[in-house]
Structure 1
Amino acid sequence: MKTLTLAAIAALLPVTALAHDGMHINDAYVRSTNPQVGAVFLQLENHRQVPCTLHSVTTKAAERAELHTHLEEDGVMKMGRIEGGIPVEPGQTHDLARGGDHVMLLGLTDPLTDGDSLTLTLDFGDCGTEEAEAVVDNQRSPEDAAAASEADPHAGH
């Protein structure tokens, strides 16, 4: 009996190790200030042994999704596309947060209502793709988002 129990535990160990490997998407949420556009915020967490780069995001909720960031030019904040993707080194995290990097949803197929959720497919190139659910939360303040990410960094698994 003892041998059988140990064999069962040993068989599960590789599965447990794989469950924490890969890219993790934490605390994904969406905001929309008008019926045509929205923005996705989340945390990327790299549990792989190699750098991974987020190249693109797709969703059925919008005609297209683009990686964007905010840049200061001549004292004015402007939003622009991120060329080349968003790299995340092994063991590191990268926050897509208000006022910084984020995913712009352009040409929304339906208005985004608080409490709704949408499925995102994140393309990490050689590191594969990951799916995540993002909840529409138009009431969340930037402080609430930071607190949620710090309180439970694994909320998106």
Structure 2
Amino acid sequence: MEFWHTVARSGGAWFKKAVPALAAGLVFVLQQTPSETLAHSYKLDDIAVGHVWASPPEEGAGGIAVYGPILNRGDKSARLVGASSPVAEEVRFRISKDGDVGWLEYIELRPNKPVSLAAWREHIWLSGIRDSIERGDSFELILDFGDAGKLPVKIVVEDEGGH
């Protein structure tokens, strides 16, 4: 309540200062190219990929995991059938369940059912890492959706996907 009393006493002076700053910010955003404004979301026809990220490498893990959301907005099922990256010798789909690790041939993308690549379910696993990768680094990953095509994405190495 105190906030609104302060606003009323100021006669709206804060509003007069805030509007030009907000307008300038909006103009800046609108002038950016889509890749600059939406740098961490991607689209390939009906397939949308959100912010994808990798956890920092752990000692003795033998690779790094990639997580993030994928949504098939189409009316037919699609599949993520492969992936590759210049930083890894091998990229596969891994599933962890109750402490057991298994490998998948593909990740099913049902229409309008989001898939969250996560540590406790299916995710992408890179092994044979060619270079040192640390928190704050980024690298390219190419997602292969079979007949739908391939989609290059930028992977950011961070804790919990929260840059």
Question: Which residue of 2 is the match for residue 134 of structure 1?
Answer: 155
Does residue 95 in structure 1 map to residue 121 in structure 2? no
Query: Once the two structures are superposed, what CA deviation does each residue of 1:2-46 show, in whole Å capped at 9, x if it has no partner?
Result: xxxxxxxxxxxxxxxxx7842111120011213851110111111
- Answering whether residue 138 of structure 2 is matched by residue 117 of structure 1, we say yes
Question: Where does the alignment leave 5 or more consecutive residues of structure 1 unmatched?
Answer: 1-18, 149-157
Q: 2:59 pairs with 34, 40, 58, which one?
A: 34
1:134 Cα deviation after fit: 0.9
**Bigger-Rg structure (1/2):** 2
Q: CA shift at 1:67, angstroms?
A: 0.2
Q: Which letter maps to 2:52?
A: A
Name which structure has the greater RCO, CA cutoff 8 Å, separation 6+.
1
Aligned to 1:51: 77
Write the deviation string for residues 74-113 of structure 1: whole angstroms up to 9, x where unpaired: xxx1111013x11111222101012211111100011211
> Taking structure 2 as the reference length, what is the TM-score of the superposition?
0.66
Q: How does 1:77-92 map to 2 (within 5 A)?
A: 77-83=99-105, 85-92=106-113
Identity, in percent, stands at 25
Query: What CA distance in whole angstroms lies between the structure 1 residues aligned with 2:46 and 2:104?
Result: 23
TM-score normalised over the length of structure 1: 0.68
| 2: CA distance, partners of 1:20 / 1:55 | 14
Q: Once the 2 structures are TM-superposed, how far is the Cα of residue 49 of structure 1 from its aligned partner?
A: 2.8
Q: C-alpha distance in 1, partners of 2:121/2:146?
A: 22
